[in-house]
């Protein structure tokens, strides 16, 4: 748990001070990838609180969700269909479900 906290703080500080700008053309792609990865993070936190956390499941889910989100947006752009909204809806719903389960687990303790 200490390693995760240190990693989170280090990532936030690095993200705050790094001069990274995302071009407008890639904004849909990065927003969906970010949402997919946040879904994995909340799922990992929920699994940790339930004492069911597995490193390999988290890592594989983190990158698989991000790649799936990127693939959906990429294919949607080439087909002229806004699959961006489908990915936002799917990963947004999952993220809020994981967040509500995490909240319930915290309140139960």
- Quick one: which of 6, 108, 5, 104 has its CA closest to 46? 104
- Whole-number pLDDT of residue 55: 87
CB atoms within 10 A of CB 19: 4
Which DSSP category does 51 fall into? T
Length of the chain measured in residues: 109
pTM of the predicted structure, to 2 decimals: 0.76
Give residue 10's pLDDT. 93
Which residues fall within 8 angstroms of residue 56, CB to CB, at 6 or more apart? none
Q: What is the pLDDT of residue 15?
A: 85
Under 8 Å CB-to-CB from 9, ≥6 apart: which residues? none
Ranges of residues in the chain whose predicted pLDDT is under 70: 1
Spans of all domains in the chain: 22-108
């Amino acid at each position: 748990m200490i390693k995760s906290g240190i990693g989170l703080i280090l990532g936030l500080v690095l993200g705050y001070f790094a001069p990274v700008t995302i071009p407008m053309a890639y904004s849909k792609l990065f927003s969906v990838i970010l949402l997919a990865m946040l879904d994995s993070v909340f799922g990992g936190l929920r699994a940790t609180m339930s004492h069911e956390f597995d490193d390999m499941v988290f890592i594989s889910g983190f990158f698989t969700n991000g790649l799936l989100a990127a693939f959906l947006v990429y294919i949607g752009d080439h087909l002229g269909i806004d699959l961006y909204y489908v990915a936002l809806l799917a990963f947004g719903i999952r993220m809020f479900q994981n967040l509500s389960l995490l909240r319930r687990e915290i309140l139960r303790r």
